[in-house]
Amino acid sequence: MSIKQNIEKIRADIPSGVTLVNVSKTQPIEKLWSAYEAGERVFGESRPRELESKYNELPKDIEWHMIGSLQTNKVKYIAPFVNLIHSVDSERLLEMINREALKCGRVIDVLLEIFVAQESTKHGWKGDELTSYLSSQRCRDLKGVRIRGVMGMASFTDDREQVRREFKELNSEFVALKERFFRGDDDKFDTLSMGMSGDFRIAIEQGSTMVRVGSSIFN
Ligand SMILES: *Cc1c(COP(=O)(O)O)cnc(C)c1O
């Protein structure tokens, strides 16, 4: 099937309130053009330099999301234009994004990556690390970032019940963080990024507001 047909098929299963991030990492620019021509405007990449060069080549009405793990020394390549960073898994990274955002006169939207999967390779804040940080004054001092929600990945497994449980857990954490830390008038904690090609339908059923789909669009 063509990219356009893949997108139509996926879109048919995505309710209007859920954002589709077209995960175009490692894909050549022609394939991004095909998705663009099919009407897609939100793209996700996992390497800062690749993201930067695709941003430079493609139309400026595209929203660019950074979804992969991000090294602090590479934040500068994407800070001038990135729309959402999904993969914020440490205070150090959050501080670097803040610093680079302020240099560009921007406020950058970010998601906190939370770890729920079984595999130890997946990134994310662990245990009390996140709540103790969010309780701190240091967190409130960051004026260059706006925390918009949570991102997570389920385990890579055929056990759909396990995947469902993990997405449910992510949703509970999202709701709990919102209640505890993001109830102010200035807060906009509204994004739960979960679900990829193999599991986005389960993620949507469990309350996802943003799915990141790559291989079933582009491959
Ligand atoms: C690659 C990637 C995706 C897309 O995965 P597919 O299985 O190709 O849909 C989603 N999220 C993250 C963080 C990724 O790195």
Which pLDDT tens digits describe the chain residue by residue (219 residues)? 999 999 999 999 999 999 999 999 999 999 999 999 999 999 999 999 999 999 999 999 999 999 999 999 999 999 999 999 999 999 999 999 999 999 999 999 999 999 887 776 667 787 688 999 999 999 989 999 999 999 999 999 999 999 999 999 999 999 999 999 999 999 999 999 999 999 999 999 999 999 999 999 999
SS3 142: coil
What pLDDT does 126 receive?
A: 72
> Ligand 1 within 6 A of 212 CB?
yes
> Ligand 1 within 6 A of 215 CB?
yes
List the structure tokens of 48.
């800062």
Radius of gyration of the chain (CA): 17
What pLDDT does 120 receive?
A: 67
SS3 43: strand
> Ligand 1 within 6 A of 213 CB?
yes
- The protein residue whose alpha carbon is closest to atom 15 in ligand 1 is 68
> Ligand 1 within 6 A of 219 CB?
no
Residue labelled with tokens 């260059």:
144
List the structure tokens of 213.
């789909």
List the structure tokens of 108.
């950058």
Residue labelled with tokens 């959050």:
94
Residue 29 to residues 61, 63, 212, Cα–Cα distance (Å) = 16, 15, 18
Query: What sign does the CA torsion over 135, 139, 140, 145 have?
Result: negative
Is this structure's pTM higher than 0.85? yes
State the Cα–Cα distance between residues 217 and 219, nearest whole angstrom. 6
CA of 62 to the centre of ligand 1 (A): 19
What pLDDT does 48 receive?
A: 98
> Ligand 1 within 6 A of 154 CB?
no
Residue 10 to residues 34, 40, 155, 206, Cα–Cα distance (Å) = 15, 12, 21, 17
CA of 24 to the centre of ligand 1 (A): 9
Q: Which atom of ligand 1 is nearest to the CA of 212?
A: 10
The four Cα atoms 113, 116, 119, 120 give a dihedral, to 10 degrees, of 60
| Angle (CA) 192 73 174, round 5° | 15
Q: How many CA atoms lie within 13 A of 187 on its CB side?
A: 14
